[in-house]
Structure formats: C-alpha cells, structure tokens
C-alpha cells in the first residue's frame, strides 16, 4: 500500500459484516414470520405461494379456544413449568452450596459421579420412573409431571461453578457474626448468585414448558394435558387445520419469548460466569 493511500471509512469496512448479519437474522426469523402470516390466513390460502394473506382472519385465534380447551392447556403448561423451575433452582442451589462451600470427605468424587448422570439418556430412566410412579399412584397427575423433574445435575454444575467464584472470606465473616450454615446460604451466597439462578430458571422453564414425551406417556385425562400434547390431539382430531395450528403455536411460544427478552442480560452474564473453571 502506498503512503498516499487513504484507509477505507469504518462504514465500508463494516458493511459486508452487517449485510451478512442481516441475512442470517432474516433466515432465522423467516419461519417465525411465516407462522404469523399463516395464522392469519383462511385455510384455503395456506398452501398458496403468496405469503401475504389476501383475506385476513384474526379470529383464527379465537377459534382455537372454541375448538379445544386451550386455556386449560395453557394453565397446565405454565403451572407445571413454574413448579419444576422453582424446585430445580432450589434443589440445585442447595446441592451446589454443598459441593462448593462445604468441605466433607469424598466431596469431589461424589460430584463427579453426580455429573456422570448427565451421560445417561432420559429414555433409559423413563421406564424406572414410570414404574416408580405406578407404585406411588402418581400417574395422570400434576405431581407425576413435577416430581421426577425437580432435580437436575446440570443446574447443580452451573450454580457450583458460579459459587466457586464467590470469596470464602464472606462465609468466614458470616460465621464470625454468628450466622448458621443456612443463613450463610440464604442471606450471603444466594443473593450473589442471581445471574446464574435466573439462567437456570430460564433454561428449566423453557425445557419443561416444551416437554412432550414424558407428559404424553404419563397423562391420559384431557384436563391435565399440557400445550404440546393438547395441540397434538387438536391436529389429529380436527383434521389438518394448519392456520389454526399456527395460531395455537404462536400463542404457545409468546411466554418463552417474553421470558427470554426480560432476562437476556442476566442469562448471558450467568452463562459467562458459569463457564469459568473453578
């Protein structure tokens, strides 16, 4: 490059990168936009090449509630997801505190065995879980949906990695002030773990809210069906009503989008902190 050559303006340097990012964003958003537009079409226009509806049908959303007990399915999914999320966050925080802040014989070995359960596929444990619930008479119930999912090794690992970064001097200061183990956990350590707690809560809520196979095996009563199971029977019982299926699907993903948008900063911070080796 000659000495007289001028560097390109920053806009021209960033333009190809911006174009590539916009193309990727459009490719990722296209299915969601197609779902929105299809949910507003009459059934006759669903398979047309034109993505824009000629006849807008916003009442497709109300028709979903008329044909199936969609509000009940909504409540079941939210109810189960909130309970599972609460229990997973609480039990994982307790286990992470024991594995990171307490000193006891065999702690690291037990933690490695605990992590090894992540390598066991869920299909393998499904039959023992189902058999156990049969003996406990918890089939076709909220408790059967919630209790087996109340514990997670992934959540324990995530919170442990975050707790390892908290200075132990805080624990010692709390003990000097007369705090018990529970008070140290609840009043000192747990408030400092807010980003990782929110991250685990979001992951847990997303996974439970969209769970399909376990509720399909466990639930027989229509009033206990969650959204994925309810929409499965909706699709099979009323024929191929793609426009109504898209309307129901769009309403089902809205809580997930809202939850992520409200917590994205804490989620990113929690993931970054949990990735640090302790």
Domains of the chain, each with CATH number or no CATH: 67-274 (1.10.3720.10)
Q: Phi first, then psi: what are they for 5, rounded to 5°?
A: -70, 140
Euclidean distance between CA atoms 260 and 257, whole angstroms: 5
Mean of the per-residue pLDDT values of the chain: 87
- Asked if 112 and 52 touch (Cβ cutoff 8 Å), the reply is no
Instruction: Determine the pLDDT at residue 3.
Output: 53
Q: How far apart are the first and last CA of the chain?
A: 48
What length is written for the chain? Answer: 278
Report the percent of the chain where pLDDT is more than 90.
56
- Asked if 159 and 93 touch (Cβ cutoff 8 Å), the reply is yes
The per-residue pLDDT for range 212-256, each reduced to its tens digit, is 999 999 999 989 999 999 888 887 766 678 889 999 999 999 888
Instruction: Determine the pLDDT at residue 97.
Output: 96
Instruction: Determine the pLDDT at residue 136.
Output: 93
pTM of the model: 0.85
- Asked if 196 and 274 touch (Cβ cutoff 8 Å), the reply is yes
What is each CA distance from 12 to 5, 19, 94, in whole angstroms?
15, 11, 52
Low-confidence residues in the chain, pLDDT < 50: 1, 277-278
Instruction: Determine the pLDDT at residue 271.
Output: 66
Instruction: Determine the pLDDT at residue 258.
Output: 85
Instruction: Determine the pLDDT at residue 278.
Output: 46
HEC letters along the chain:
CCCCCCCCCHHHHHHHHHHHHHHHHHHHHHHHHHHHHHHCCCHHHCCCCCCCCCCCCCCHHHHHHHHCCHHHHHHHHHHHHHHHHHHHHHHHHHHHHHHHCCCCCCHHHHHHHHHHHHHCCHHHHHHHHHHHHHHHCCCCCHHHHHHHHCCCHHHHHHHHHHHCCCCCHHHHHHHHCCCCHHHHHHHHHHHHCHHHHHHHHHHHHHHHHCCCHHHHHHCCCHHHCCHHHHHHHHHHHCCCCHHHHHHHHHHHHHHHHHHHHHHHHHHHHHHHHHCCCC
């Amino acid at each position: 490059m000659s000495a007289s050559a001028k560097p390109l303006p920053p806009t021209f340097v960033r333009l190809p990168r911006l174009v590539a990012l916009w193309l990727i964003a459009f490719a990722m958003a296209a299915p969601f936009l197609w779902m929105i537009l299809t949910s507003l079409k009459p059934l006759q226009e669903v398979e047309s090449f034109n993505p824009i509806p000629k006849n807008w049908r916003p009442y497709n959303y109300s028709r979903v509630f008329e044909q199936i007990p969609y509000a009940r399915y909504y409540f079941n999914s939210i109810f189960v997801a909130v309970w599972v999320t609460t229990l997973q966050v609480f039990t994982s925080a307790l286990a992470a505190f024991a594995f990171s802040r307490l000193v006891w014989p065999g702690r690291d070995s037990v933690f490695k065995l605990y992590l090894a359960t992540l390598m066991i596929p869920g299909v393998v444990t499904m039959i023992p879980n189902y058999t156990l619930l049969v003996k406990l008479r918890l089939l076709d119930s909220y408790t059967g949906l919630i209790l087996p999912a109340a514990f997670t090794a992934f959540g324990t690992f995530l919170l442990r990695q975050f707790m390892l970064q908290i200075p132990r001097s805080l624990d010692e200061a709390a003990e000097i002030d007369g705090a018990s183990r529970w008070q140290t956990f609840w009043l000192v350590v747990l408030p400092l773990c807010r980003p990782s707690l929110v991250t685990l809560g979001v992951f847990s809520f997303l996974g439970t809210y969209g769970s399909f196979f376990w509720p399909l095996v466990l639930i027989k009563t229509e009033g206990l069906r969650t959204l994925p199971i309810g929409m499965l029977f909706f699709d099979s019982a009323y024929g191929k009503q793609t426009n109504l299926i898209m309307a129901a699907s769009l309403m089902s993903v809205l809580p997930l989008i809202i939850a992520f948008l409200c917590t994205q900063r804490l989620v990113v911070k929690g993931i970054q902190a949990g990735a640090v080796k302790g």
